[in-house]
């Protein structure tokens, strides 16, 4: 860091803790790269949209002091309770302005304690879907609003993206059009976040001891189809990617990974256990005779080709996930992946 400051004098205008936090980010990025999770992306000071202050932050009413920047006004949406101290401050740029997130600490506040596995009796299973966002093992279905994949949303995105592409590069009009496009994306993201918190709270507030979740490989589910080539002519054949593109967009819009993280967070906050189980064949396995067959499922209907048992396919999958979690808790199988 001293060598970088000597080579770039403008570093003197940046708080030292901000620079240290960025070095930590870079270290994390390279660790992820060596673990096979993508190469770090270069960011210059013009497109850096977030930074963190580790100390020196003060708040007085509707004003906040940031080192090297001084006092400035801000909307204090949530006052800091008495007895808490400021540990860090993250500043983030979004399309409609800058946002400040304060991390506070009070050592007298006890840590959340998770219920021991031995005390787990009631479990509710959750099956993620597209037509319905979540299917619960008690028969409840939570609707999927499809914020970015509705006809109106897709049309609006198409128009605004086209307006950006038609403007001259690096022009003011292109920046204005890009800002409008970004504001629409932000609106969709904010709606999705608010709805997911509502759904997660609805699930976790049930009178249960644990929540059984699918251990999904979402990136693998959204991976491109394998290329098919005609051995004689060498020409590319149809591999179903154009049809799968719509499914990938629906999966991305549903944002299962973010919803699962919110459920795990609220479960830990309420002292409940979140158990991840393998969802393989959960919607194709008959709950009556155990027969597994792809033809058992026809859309949302489940009719066993072996014994004739029938029910709603996704609700049945949620019940199977619940039963697998109970088996893991009772020690009938391998140890579960537990999030606390």
Residues classed as catalytic: 127, 214, 314
Task: Determine the angle formed by the axes of helices 172-204 and 151-166, rounding to 10 degrees.
Answer: 150
| Cα distance between residue 79 and residue 57, in whole Å | 15
Question: Which distant-in-sequence residues (6+ apart) come within 8 Å of 9 by Cβ?
Answer: none
Distance CA 123, CA 67 (A): 49
Angstrom distance (rounded) from CA 96 to CA 325 = 43
6, 111, 147, 196, 247 from 254: Cα distances, Å: 48, 32, 8, 9, 11
Which residue from 124, 135, 113 is spatially nearest to 275, judged by alpha carbons? 124
Q: Is 275 exposed, middle or buried (0-12, 13-18, 19+ CB in 10 A)?
A: buried
In the sheet that holds 210-214, the strands lie side by side as 141-143, 132-136, 123-128, 210-214, 273-277, 337-339
Residue 209 DSSP code: S
């Amino acid at each position: 860091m001293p060598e970088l400051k000597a080579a770039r004098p403008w570093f003197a205008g940046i708080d030292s803790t901000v620079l240290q936090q960025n070095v930590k980010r870079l270290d994390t990025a390279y660790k992820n790269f060596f673990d096979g999770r993508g190469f770090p992306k270069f960011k210059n000071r013009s497109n850096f949209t977030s930074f963190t202050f580790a100390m020196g932050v003060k708040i007085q009413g509707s004003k906040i002091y940031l080192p090297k920047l001084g006092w400035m006004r801000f909307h204090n949406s949530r006052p800091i309770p008495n007895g808490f101290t400021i540990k860090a401050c993250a500043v983030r740029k979004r399309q409609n302005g800058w946002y400040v997130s304060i991390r506070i600490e009070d050592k007298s506040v006890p840590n959340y304690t998770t219920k021991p596995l031995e005390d787990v009796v009631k479990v509710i299973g959750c099956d993620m879907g597209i037509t319905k966002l979540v299917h619960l093992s008690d028969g409840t279905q939570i609707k999927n609003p499809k914020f970015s994949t509705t006809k109106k949303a897709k049309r609006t995105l198409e128009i605004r993206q086209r307006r950006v592409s038609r403007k001259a590069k690096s022009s003011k009009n292109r920046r204005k059009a890009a800002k409008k496009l970004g504001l629409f994306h932000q609106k969709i993201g904010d709606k999705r976040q608010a709805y997911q918190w509502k759904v997660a709270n609805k699930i976790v507030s049930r009178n249960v001891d644990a929540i059984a979740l699918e251990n999904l490989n979402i990136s693998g589910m959204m991976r491109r189809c394998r290329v098919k080539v005609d051995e004689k002519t060498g020409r590319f054949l149809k591999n179903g990617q154009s049809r799968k593109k719509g499914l990938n967009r629906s999966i991305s819009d549903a944002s299962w990974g973010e919803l699962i993280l919110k459920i795990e967070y609220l479960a830990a906050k309420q002292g409940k256990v979140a158990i991840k189980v393998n969802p393989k064949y959960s919607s194709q396995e008959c709950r009556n005779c155990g027969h597994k067959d792809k033809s058992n499922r026809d859309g949302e209907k489940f009719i066993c080709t072996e014994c004739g048992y029938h029910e709603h396919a996704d609700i049945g999958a949620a019940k199977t996930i619940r039963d697998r979690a109970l088996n893991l808790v009772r020690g009938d199988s391998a140890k579960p992946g537990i999030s606390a």
